């Protein structure tokens, strides 16, 4: 594997999601020019791929409708008001990562 691939992976992992979220919230709306040199030192380890399972939402709803009656379940779902979920403004970037 090419060394730059591992180094790029290390840079991406060095910027933790929590730090990104905090910086995103603290940044005013606008466009910013940036020129920064980054040095990351440490170790990168990649584990084996894993398979994760999640419930099939369609199958769950079908089972609930069958067990409790479709019209009753549909009536309950229709009575639930939608909830507004606030979201931060989207952060986009056009960056080039160079390993120095």
Q: Check residue 91 and give its pLDDT.
A: 67
Q: Which residues contact 34 (CB under 8 A, 6 or more apart)?
A: 95
- CB atoms under 10 Å from CB of 61, counted, come to 13
What is the distance of C-alpha 68 from the center of its chain? 35
The pLDDT profile of the chain, 100 residues, written as one tens digit per residue, is: 566 777 777 777 777 767 777 888 888 889 888 887 877 777 777 888 888 888 898 999 999 999 999 999 989 888 987 888 887 777 666 766 666 7
Burial of 33 (0-12, 13-18, 19+ CB in 10 A): exposed
Q: Check residue 60 and give its pLDDT.
A: 92
Q: Check residue 96 and give its pLDDT.
A: 64
């Amino acid at each position: 594997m090419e060394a730059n691939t591992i180094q790029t992976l290390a840079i991406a992992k060095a910027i933790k999601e929590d730090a990104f979220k905090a910086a995103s919230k603290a940044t005013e709306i606008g466009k910013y020019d940036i020129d920064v040199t980054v040095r990351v030192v440490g170790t990168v380890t990649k584990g084996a791929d894993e398979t994760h399972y999640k419930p099939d939402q369609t199958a769950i709803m079908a089972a609930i409708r069958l067990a409790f009656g479709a019209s009753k379940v549909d009536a309950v779902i229709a009575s639930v008001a939608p909830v507004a979920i606030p979201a931060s403004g989207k952060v986009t970037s056009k960056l080039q990562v160079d390993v120095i």
